[in-house]
Chain A
Amino acid sequence: MVEYRVGGSLAADDPTYIEREADRTLYRSLIQGELCYVLTSRQMGKSSLRLRTRQRLETEGMGRCAAIDLTRIGSQQITPEQWYLGLAFDLRRKFGLPDGVDLPTWWQGLGPLPPAQKLSYWIETVLLVTQPDQPLFIFLDEIDSVKGLSFGVGDFFGLVRFCYNQRAENPAYRRLNWAIFGVATPHDLVTEAHQTPFNIGRAISLAGFTPNEASPLAAGLVGLAERPEQVLAAVLHWTGGQPFLTQKLCDLIQTAHRNKPLAAGTEGNRVEALVRSRLIHHWEAQDDPEHLRTIRDRLVANELRSGRLLSLHQRILTTGNIPADGSPDQAELKLSGIAIARNGHLQIANPIYAQVFNPAWVNQCLAQQRPYAVMLQAWVASDFQDDSRLLMGQALQDALHWAADKSLSDLDYRYLSASQEWDAKMVRLELEAKNQANRMLAESQRKANQIIWFSYLSLGTCLAISLVALLISLLRS
């Protein structure tokens, strides 16, 4: 019985491994000496592709391979010196170089050179020299993990690029080939144009399974259904060929129909029932191994970006597709896996994602993110009566700015427009109050002046009287 594999990478001989266009392109490009990179979303089969390609290169005698998982080299505390040396150490082990000279001692012997240069020197004088006759393939997996290091590794990408540029001058470098795998955009990884190897390499795109490619998967459904191909077609309709979901759904069918074969004509309904009850319904609880939650996290985890990603997703949901413009937000949406580019447009990758991350879900997320959540809650709690809970001034402007590119719930709009009214009213009242105050001020000033004049007058009169009295008394004496 064919066992489907839900999560993790597939062994090179797994019967459910589906060969795709990318398998052929990657293999061909690598043996032609091209720098290849496969940057795509999670659980698309990158690691399985790497494994399979590596095995094919080795069995067909194309050269030696070393696969380096970069999460395993770096850590937050690691220093650049340790990272580069760790990389060299791992390459040495993976290529099975003889244990001759102690690598750390050799490394320290180079003195105060920058570590990237030491690695480069090691590649040229040790790696390429001890493996003189055959091509070498270095597979770097989880490349995005370099973003978690405490230092930049632009120099490392510069080194990869250097290896290709050196080919004209030093033929030994023609034997050295790199393939890079990860969940990132080239721009995420390296910003300096002179360091990036990505513009001289070949991007290998990894799409979902097409119905033709996926047909071997039907083997696992034989005996469970009268028409396995129809069942598989129904599966692909729901998963859009997304590898993880496709394997998972096939596995669910295997379990559910082990003892009661799927009758002809019921395929669509039965598959739909499973999708609804086991994938979509309460998806957060049923999502094991984690898949949908990864997508969710990618959409909502980054507070600064999440609002924009959600509103972009919302637009695709409502309009069906939007023109692809290559913007960083669109790239991020594609990396999350939720959207794919087809014919110059971005669309939701499959109906399962569209049902899980549906408009109601988006609204819920936006509701949690609204910058005025606390105030809104208090306003609702006051039965929409407590005007002091409305937004004013800068807070209102910020909220309107945040809301501008989103379609929000009626409650949000009710709150925002009540706030706008309230804000306008307050501005008006404030103005009136100011005028009133000014009037009062003028009036009181006038009164004060009157009083002052009156006091002067009385003072003068008093003075005059006392003067007269003084004169009289003087005259009398």
Chain B
Amino acid sequence: MIASVFFPTAMRADEALALLDQLLPGSTFSNLQETVFSQVWEGKTYAEIAESCGYDHSYIRDVGFRLWQALSESLNQKISKSNIRAVLERHARSQSIPAPTLSDIPEILVSPPVWELPNGPVPLQSTFYIDRPPLETQAKTELLKPGSLIRLKAPRQMGKTSLMRRLVAHGQDHHMRCVTLSLHRADRQIFADLDLFLRWFCANIGHQLGLEPDLKRRWNGDIGSKVSCTAYLEDYVLPLVDSPLVIALDEVNELFQYPRLSAEFLPLLRSWYEDAREIEAWGGVRWILSHATEVYVPLQLHQSPFNVGLALRLPPFTLAQVQDLACRHQLPWAAGRDGAQRLGALLQVVSCRPGLVRLALYALAQGDLSLEQLIEEAPTQSGIYSDHLRELLAALYPHPDLQAAFRYVIESAAPVALEPIAAYRLESLGLITLSKNLATPSCELYRQYFLQFLPPSLSSAYG
């Protein structure tokens, strides 16, 4: 259990093979050995492997046996099919950067930090923003390329908006003009109509750039909203912006709930992006999109902006990053091996989700309650997460179908399959994690809280 907390993104087979290459320089594996290794790594039985490769069962078992024997000899410890994962992950851990100790903390931090309320995105100048290499550098490099598009994908509470703000600031440092549109801030009614939405889009961009929107004169319904919108941006806005322009769209997933609008707007976005290669005006534009879930709108012709550009999935924190953040919160007990163990109890409840971790560390830094108390009260109405949890409950409240689907997830011991739209909506709320289309609660906190407070389902499709 602890191992899975430490490695929320489990090691992939190719990473494991790469690690073996590192541990055992000079050894080479045959093609078949690699296949057997990879598939065992993924949890396949010898029989399944034999079937998929077209070999005899006993032959594959033999190959496997020899492989473990060879590995046991070279690593000097007993290795078998069942412990290979644990052994290699242990090696990976011991190789990764050691957790920072107090002495590693930059001096500036040792003076009492300015506490900031840990809700919402991390402020730009905050000392509490933890880099997740190579994420930030990758995104910043990409942003400097003309005509680029960066997609930040992660559920809520993972730091999308914080990263987006940093990218925008990075753009400004490089003399770019920046426009940020948060789609969850828009009035619901503008999503009902393409023309209304595109006008909103143009007016906001114009406004943020300090231009007179002048839509009355410049918008021409006769030629259709999409042509009108493109002409507005291409003929009016872009020529007036004499430096590169960053257009950041936060929470694009808000659009997915309006399939008709999405089916028009997203392809339009993609075509502007493609235009960077052909039309000079668009060449200077950089796009940043953030979304909490996969696009689940069937986009006609796959004209999807989610198919191009640099895709970045925001990973949960690693243990070392959590310890780093704890140090920055002046919680010295969290450092080192013992600290890792103590934090483990917290991480079992909230996983390594940056938003939740940050809230906990903030509360601990205030010194009002102990770690044990915090963990115990976490899933209750009086715990530190109560506002966050109530918000989620309120978000589920108008949707009995989502409630039923989520109840099904938290009541099941194993991952379960959900109806796709419900699955995506729960994922975008950050309540579940989807893997191979199977849903699990994204952290123990949610399971415990919602088991208590979700109204019992009367009848549901997930009987």
Contacts and interface: CB of A to CB of B under 8 A. Distances in A.
Contact of A281 (B18, B38, B195): B38
Contact of A67 (B222, B278, B304): B278
Interface in A13-31: none
Contacts of A10: 277
Contact of B307 (A75, A277, A289, A297): A289
Interface in A60-96: 67, 69, 71-78, 81-83, 85-86, 89-90, 93
Given A71-B267, A278-B14, A8 B274 contact: yes
Contacts of B194: 75, 77
Interface stretch (A201-209, A266-274, A431-439): A266-274
B21 to A, nearest CB: 7
Which of A8, A78, A282 has the most chain B CB atoms closer than 10 A to its own CB?
A8
Contacts of B224: 73-75, 78, 82-83, 85-86
23 contacts: A8-B273, A11-B277, A12-B277, A67-B278, A69-B274, A71-B268, A71-B303, A73-B224, A74-B224, A75-B224, A77-B194, A81-B222, A85-B223, A93-B231, A104-B222, A256-B14, A269-B30, A273-B34, A277-B13, A281-B13, A284-B437, A285-B436, A290-B304
A441 to B, nearest CB: 46
A299 to B, nearest CB: 13
A-side binding surface: helix, strand, loop or mixed?
A: helix
Interface string B291-314: 000000010111110111101000
Contacts of A281: 13, 38, 42
B227 A72 contact: yes
Interface in B204-244: 220-227, 230-231, 234-235
Contacts of A7: 307-309
B264 interface: yes
Interface residues of B, number: 51
Interface string A133-145: 0000000001011
A273 B222 contact: no
Interface centre among B12, B222, B267, B437 (most CB of A within 10 A): B222
Interface of B: 12-14, 17-18, 21, 28, 30-31, 34-35, 38, 42, 194-195, 220-227, 230-231, 234-235, 260, 263-264, 267-268, 271, 273-274, 277-278, 298, 300-304, 306-309, 311, 435-437
A289 B227 CA distance: 27
A215 to B, nearest CB: 24
Contacts of B304: 290
B223 A104 contact: yes
Interface of A: 7-12, 42, 47, 51, 54, 67, 69, 71-78, 81-83, 85-86, 89-90, 93, 103-104, 107-108, 142, 144-145, 148, 183, 256, 260, 266, 268-269, 272-274, 276-278, 281-282, 284-285, 288-290, 294, 297, 301
Given A69-B271, A71-B301, A297-B302, 6 more contacts: A71-B271, A77-B195, A82-B221, A145-B301, A260-B21, A290-B307
A93 B233 CA distance: 13
Given A82-B222, A82-B224, A290 B235 contact: no
A80 B7 CA distance: 56
B302 A89 contact: no
Contact of B278 (A51, A89, A142, A266): A51
Contacts of B306: 289-290
A307 to B, nearest CB: 19
B282 to A, nearest CB: 12
B230 A51 contact: no
